[in-house]
């Protein structure tokens, strides 16, 4: 008999669930509040440029299985960013290498290709622009209600994959009188996330540097990460530069609601000083993305995470696995998906 599974969130973890349910008697329906899929591994297009304004690349390191998996999904447009990641310190000193090893995978058409290809291969149904507001346990299964008041279901199981604070909100709005819900909610609510405001700076000239990106390992510089999107094929036209600047959490929280123009002025000035190039104070256009829930700071206890699974309520995502990486979230989704499909 076919089991019907609802997955809230179509990021790496959500499509991982769908992937694990391939070739099993399971029908997966993904719901995402965004207009497209892929969550924090996001790509945007503007003024002839394409840029990944959340996750920058997939770096599974020495994990041969995941590398092989990317090939299986289709290697057309799959690219390794060849230039290295260097570091900068609190004083703005730039140094070679951080030894992150292995390929840095993305796609010429943007990092969203990963989730899109997994979803297509899994043939899962997706409802985008559908924000789930609450769900309820009824005699015939789980029913989900979106913010337009439409109800979906019943489903045999539901998997929640939004960042922990958003999953906690959903659990708080759940109708199910059972102590497992209280235990799960308390455990999810305790998982912290850090905030990152990403600011994009475009310039009508090229930057000649020996690195793709700079990262600040001591976490004492207001710029946490800075990368050159033109190092990715088909992202930035020749003769132009597009910097992705991810600000440190303290700066990001303090400036989260500041209008883009003044926030971008401040960021461009910091970048010009860091790269010792006064031209960088004046980008010709800018863009931004506030990631209130960017990266998990902790993870959920495994037993708490699984406490309601026998009633068909699951959680998955980077915060369940304990590391904010695309391939880790995906792998966690696959692991949970195998349990949902009864394969473990
Ligand atoms: C700025 C930044 C840089 C990063 N850089 C890297 C990097 O270079 N490499 C790397 O590997 N990782 C990086 N990461 C981390 C990586 O993006 C995440 O770990 C991974 O994408 C998490 O996937 P997920 O499926 O767990 O969650 P998400 O991608 O957050 O997916 C959850 C989905 O749930 C949806 N959702 C939320 N609430 C609801 C609701 N009520 N109803 C319906 N849908 C809902 C969201 O729209 C979202 O699509 C970065 C993250 C950020 C923010």
User: What confidence score (pLDDT) does residue 98 get?
Assistant: 63
Q: Which atom of ligand 1 is nearest to the CA of 327?
A: 11
Is the pLDDT assigned to residue 185 strictly greater than 90?
A: yes
What CATH number did the domain enclosing 141 receive? 3.50.50.60
User: What confidence score (pLDDT) does residue 69 get?
Assistant: 84
| Beta-bridge mates of residue 127 | 31
Residues 172 and 307 occupy one common structural domain: yes
- CA dihedral 165→162→26→120, nearest 10 degrees, is 180
The DSSP annotation for 266-299 comes to HHHHHHHHHTT-GGGG--SEEEEEEEEEEEESS-
Residues 36 and 58 occupy one common structural domain: no
Tens of pLDDT, residue by residue over 278-313, are: 999 999 999 999 999 999 999 999 999 999 999 999
- Among 10, 15, 39, the mutation site with the greatest number of ligand 1 atoms within 8 A of its Cβ is 39
Q: What is the pTM of this model?
A: 0.97
Q: From the CB of 195, is ligand 1 less than 6 Å away? A: no
User: What confidence score (pLDDT) does residue 231 get?
Assistant: 98
Residue 207 sits in which domain range? 43-109+193-296
Alpha-carbon distance of 172 to 66, in angstroms, equals 35
Tens of pLDDT, residue by residue over 18-28, are: 999 999 999 99
Q: From the CB of 196, is ligand 1 less than 6 Å away? A: yes
The pLDDT-based confidence of 1 (bands split at 50, 70, 90) is confident
Residues 284 and 315 occupy one common structural domain: no
Is the pLDDT assigned to residue 85 strictly greater than 90?
A: yes
What CATH number did the domain enclosing 261 receive? 3.90.660.10
Q: From the CB of 8, is ligand 1 less than 6 Å away? A: yes
Q: What residue ranges in the chain does DSSP mark as E strands?
A: 3-8, 26-31, 43-46, 49-52, 78-80, 85-88, 94-95, 105-107, 125-127, 132-138, 141-146, 151-155, 157-160, 193-203, 213-215, 223-228, 241-247, 285-296, 313-315
Tens of pLDDT, residue by residue over 122-180, are: 999 999 999 999 999 999 999 999 999 999 999 999 999 999 999 999 999 998 999 99
- Averaged pLDDT of the chain: 95
């Amino acid at each position: 008999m076919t089991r019907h599974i609802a997955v809230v969130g179509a990021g790496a973890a959500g499509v991982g669930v769908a992937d694990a349910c391939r070739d099993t008697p399971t029908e997966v329906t993904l719901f995402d509040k965004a207009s497209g899929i892929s969550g924090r591994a996001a790509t945007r297009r503007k003024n002839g440029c394409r840029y990944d304004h959340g996750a920058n690349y997939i770096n599974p390191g020495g994990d041969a299985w995941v590398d092989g998996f990317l090939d299986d999904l289709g290697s057309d447009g799959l690219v390794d960013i060849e230039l290295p990641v260097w570091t900068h310190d609190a004083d703005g000193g730039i140094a070679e290498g951080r030894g992150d090893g292995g390929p840095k995978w993305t796609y010429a058409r943007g990092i969203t290709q990963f989730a899109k290809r997994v979803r297509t291969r899994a043939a899962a149904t997706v409802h985008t622009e559908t924000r789930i507001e609450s769900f309820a346990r009824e005699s015939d299964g789980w029913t989900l209600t979106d913010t337009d008041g439409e109800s979906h279901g019943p489903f045999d199981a539901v998997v929640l994959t939004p960042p922990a604070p958003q999953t906690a909100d959903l659990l708080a709005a759940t109708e199910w009188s059972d102590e497992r819900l209280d235990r799960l909610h308390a455990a999810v609510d305790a998982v912290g996330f850090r905030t990152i405001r990403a600011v994009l700076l475009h310039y009508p000239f090229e930057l000649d540097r020996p690195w793709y990106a700079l990262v600040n390992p001591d976490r004492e510089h207001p710029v946490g990460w800075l990368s050159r999107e033109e190092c990715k094929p088909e992202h930035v036209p020749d003769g132009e530069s597009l910097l992705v600047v991810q600000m440190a959490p303290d700066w990001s929280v303090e400036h989260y609601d500041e209008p883009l123009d003044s926030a971008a002025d401040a960021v461009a000035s910091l970048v010009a000083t860091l790269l010792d190039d006064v031209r960088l104070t004046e980008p010709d256009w800018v863009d931004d993305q506030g990631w209130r829930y960017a990266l998990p700071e902790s993870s959920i206890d495994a037993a708490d995470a699984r406490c309601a699974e026998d009633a068909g309520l699951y959680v998955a995502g980077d915060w369940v696995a304990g590391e904010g990486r695309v391939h880790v979230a995906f792998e966690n989704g696959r692991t949970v998906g195998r349990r949902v499909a009864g394969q473990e």
